[in-house]
Each structure stands twice: as C-alpha cells, then as structure tokens.
A and B are shown apart, each in its own frame.
Chain A
C-alpha cells in the first residue's frame, strides 16, 4: 500500500516563475493537507482540502498561492510569481477522516529553491 506521493521531490525556479507541486494521497484517503517547513523549524499549516473543496485555507498567503484537489488526479499547490522567500520544503499529508479525528500521514516533501 503506497504512502503519500509527492512530486517533484526537488524543484528549482527563478524569481517570477510558477511552481506546481503535486500530491497523491494514500489510497482510501480523501482529506489532504499542505504544510510548509523552513530549515530548522516546524511545519506550518497552509491549507486543508477534500475532493473538490477547500475546507480551510487560513494558513495560505492570500496572493500568489492556490490549491486544488480535483475529483480525479492529485492535489496541486500552485505558487505564482515565486520569490526567494518561497524557498522551503512543502509537505503534503492525507487522512481518512478530517482534522482531529484521524492521523495525518506525510509524503516525502517537495523542496523548492527559488533562485
């Protein structure tokens, strides 16, 4: 049973370009969460989605960042016009049920470097 899959594992972008990060949840999981982690820090919640719905985006910057979890296919975290401060590791987690009711399992992360 495959775990949470993320790709790409490493992504390099120049300032102003777009970054697309993909996350495929564990089989049977319909809840997806995105977190950002800076070096030597804990993970910071960004957004929580169920299929075709954004449930909580309170941790996501209002500009340049968007997320979706379509009916078919992986969840996508999209960062437009990237800046150096977007450089971080982005982790996706999935769970069977919603936050607080079931364990979140994490993917290996995408390490974004903005030049």
Chain B
C-alpha cells in the first residue's frame, strides 16, 4: 500500500479476511512509530504504536510489524469488518523531540 503520485492507494478486502497495510518510513533514526486510522471527516485515531526495540506488537485484532533493516512497517488487521473502512496512516518520529512525520496513507475498503 505505498503512495503513488497524489492519489491514495486503495486496498479492497472481503469482510472477514485479514488486511495488511504497508508503510516505508524515511528516517533510519526514527525510533517510535504509530498507526492512525482516519475516517471521512474525522481526525486521526490512534490504533497502535511500536518502539524500535521491538519488531512486533499486538493489540486487539491488530498487529504491527517493524523491520528496521529495510525501514518497513506494516499493520495487520484480523477479520476485517466494515467499520475498519478508513484511511490508514503510519507516522514516525525520533524520541529526540522531532515532529511526527506522516506517510501518505492507504485507503482500506471492506467489501461486505
């Protein structure tokens, strides 16, 4: 789900299937990563975060994987539901007080 040009890439999944949303981050010094979900007309909503001393973290139905070697982050959503339809952004920062840098987002569309 990497950004191409000015249009958000879209991932379409069948309800009940698992979703995987990918993100390539830019700064090798980044050590804190967050996934946000943004529904139409709303602000970003925190989903899950991970620090660079981990390579996997699980939440409720969501898992974040971090591969520092290739600067890659992924969000896995189990048993995707219609309510998961939204734009998903990864964000990165460095604990030395640098601002959050957001990726361009992936639109997840769940087919009922």
Contacts and interface: CB of A to CB of B under 8 A. Distances in A.
B104 A99 contact: no
Interface residues of B, number: 28
B45 A106 contact: yes
A63 interface: no
A7 B103 CA distance: 26
Contact of A33 (B8, B42, B96, B99): B99
A94 to B, nearest CB: 11
B84 to A, nearest CB: 18
Contacts of B94: 100
A74 interface: no
Interface string B18-45: 0000000000000110101000001111
A101 interface: yes
Interface in B72-108: 89, 91, 93-105
Contact of A42 (B31, B93, B96, B102): B102
**Number of chain A interface residues as a range:** 20 to 34
26 contacts: A4-B43, A33-B100, A41-B6, A42-B104, A43-B89, A43-B91, A43-B100, A43-B102, A45-B99, A45-B100, A45-B101, A55-B97, A58-B99, A91-B43, A98-B97, A99-B97, A99-B99, A100-B32, A100-B94, A100-B98, A101-B95, A103-B34, A104-B34, A106-B36, A109-B42, A109-B43
Q: Give 10 nearest A-B pairs by CB, closest first.
A: A100-B95, A42-B102, A106-B43, A45-B99, A43-B102, A106-B44, A100-B93, A42-B104, A108-B43, A99-B97
Interface of B: 6-8, 31-32, 34, 36, 42-46, 49, 89, 91, 93-105
